[in-house]
Amino acid sequence: MVEDQGAAQQQKLRGQEYGADAVELEYRPAVGDYTSALSARRRVSRASRIQLGVVGVVAVFVALEGVVALAGGEVPVFPLVWMVFSALLIGFTPWLQARQVYRVSERHGTFRVRVTDAGVSVATDNTTASVNWAAQPRYREKPDIFVLFSADKNAACFTVLPKRAARTLADVDRLRAILDRNLTRV
C-alpha cells in the first residue's frame, strides 16, 4: 500500500532530497516491540485512559464491598477472585494484543524503514507504505522503541520504530533529532 502523496512528496520520502538526514532501520518484528508500543498507546489514547479509569473505579467498589463483607464476618471469595482476575487482565492486555499484532506483522517478513524530514517509508517483503508527518504528527519514546501516532483521539494508527534496528547509537540520536524536528513528543 502506498499512500498517494504526489510525485514530489514520494521523491522526498525516498530520501532523494534528504540523503544525509535519512536514518535507515532493518528488523524483523518482535512481540516485545508491539507490547511496548501498545503500552505507550495506552497513555496517548483517550479510549484507553477511559477504560483504565472505569476499571479502576470498579476495582475500588469491589474492594469496598470486600471490606464491608469482612467487617460483617463473611469471607468475600467473589470480590477477591474478581480483583485478582481484573488485575491480571489489565496487566496482560498489552501483551495479549501485541501477540495478535505480531502474528499479522510477522507474515510481512523483514521491515526496511527509511526516516527522513519528509516522513517514513516502510518496505517489507510483501508491502510498501509511505507516511508523511501530517498523517502521524506525534510520537512517544520508550527505552526500546519510538512509536509514531495518528492525530485522532484514540491513536488508531501507529508506526513502531525499534531502536534495536538502528545500525549505530548515533543513528538512534539522528532518528530522535528528525522526530523532534517534525513531530510533537507526547
pLDDT of residue 20: 59
Per-residue pLDDT of the chain (186 residues; tens, 9 = 90+): 444 444 444 445 444 444 458 999 999 999 999 999 988 888 888 877 787 787 778 778 777 877 777 787 776 677 678 777 877 887 788 788 899 999 999 999 999 999 999 999 999 999 999 999 999 999 999 999 999 999 998 888 999 999 999 999 999 999 999 999 999 999
SS3 34: helix
Cell numbers 536514518 correspond to what residue? 23
Runs of H (alpha helix) within the chain: 7-13, 31-44, 46-71, 77-106, 169-182
SS3 38: helix
Q: Please name which of 52, 50, 86, 51 lies closest in space to residue 66, comparing C-alpha atoms.
A: 86
pLDDT of residue 48: 76
Set of cell numbers at residue 30: 518482535
Which amino acid does the sequence have at 52?
A: L
Set of cell numbers at residue 156: 488508531
Q: In whole angstroms, give the CA distance from residue 12 to residue 177.
A: 18
pLDDT of residue 4: 46
Q: In whole angstroms, give the CA distance from residue 155 to residue 96.
A: 18
Which amino acid does the sequence have at 101?
A: V
pLDDT of residue 134: 95
pLDDT of residue 37: 92
Q: In whole angstroms, give the CA distance from residue 20 to residue 121.
A: 16
Cβ(76)–Cβ(69) below 8 Å: yes
